[in-house]
Copies of this chain bind each other. A is one copy, B any other.
């Protein structure tokens, strides 16, 4: 299994093969639930030999991890390009981004399944935690960040997960307005002075 190399030095065959696999995987996810998709399904659609798959991904779960990570990173980079510290507004936008991403996943992927959701959760929480930790460490106050970042990360993901699962989905901005104070309450100590 190949390491995630920087794109500048990547053999074009590797790039091509990875992209074919990721794209085929995404297309299949839109039609069928994750559990029912086999490695043979993905490689067949990508017109790649099945054994080649294992040069790029450890297994189907690793494939999902890498796909989700790529998708979410792109989404966050798009919305939070120049954000480097905690504000109430940045937190709102982060919660909004996660809610929309998860809701989109629910719409775009047929019948999410427990293992699919668990893997998605792990990837996204890792990124939220890193982002929040980075924001909170930008404060001048040198406060410990680990426990507040942990609590906030899990709270954000929990709320977004609840939102994306809701049978009757609430109006997003109202939901975020209701949820935001419960996340923000532990983070205000990190807000930059005006």
Task: Give the interface of A toward B (CB within 8 A).
Answer: 61, 114-115, 118-119, 121-122, 146-148, 150-151, 153-155, 157-159, 162, 178-179, 182-183, 185-186
Contacts and interface: CB of A to CB of B under 8 A. Distances in A.
22 contacts: A61-B115, A114-B119, A114-B122, A115-B118, A118-B118, A118-B119, A118-B121, A147-B162, A147-B179, A147-B182, A148-B182, A150-B158, A150-B162, A151-B158, A151-B183, A154-B154, A154-B157, A154-B158, A154-B159, A155-B155, A185-B185, A185-B186
Contact of A186 (B121, B148, B182): B182
Given A154-B158, A154-B159, A185-B185, 15 more contacts: A115-B118, A118-B121, A146-B162, A147-B159, A147-B178, A150-B158, A150-B162, A151-B155, A151-B158, A151-B159, A151-B183, A153-B158, A154-B155, A155-B158, A185-B186
A143 to B, nearest CB: 12
A84 to B, nearest CB: 24
Contact of A115 (B115, B157, B162): B115
A61 B114 CA distance: 10
A92 to B, nearest CB: 15
Chain A binding surface, main DSSP class: helix
Contacts of A178: 147
Contacts of A185: 185-186
A91 to B, nearest CB: 14
Contacts of A186: 182, 185
Contacts of A150: 158-159, 162
A146 B179 CA distance: 10
A75 to B, nearest CB: 21
Nearest to A148: B182
Contacts of A154: 154-155, 157-159
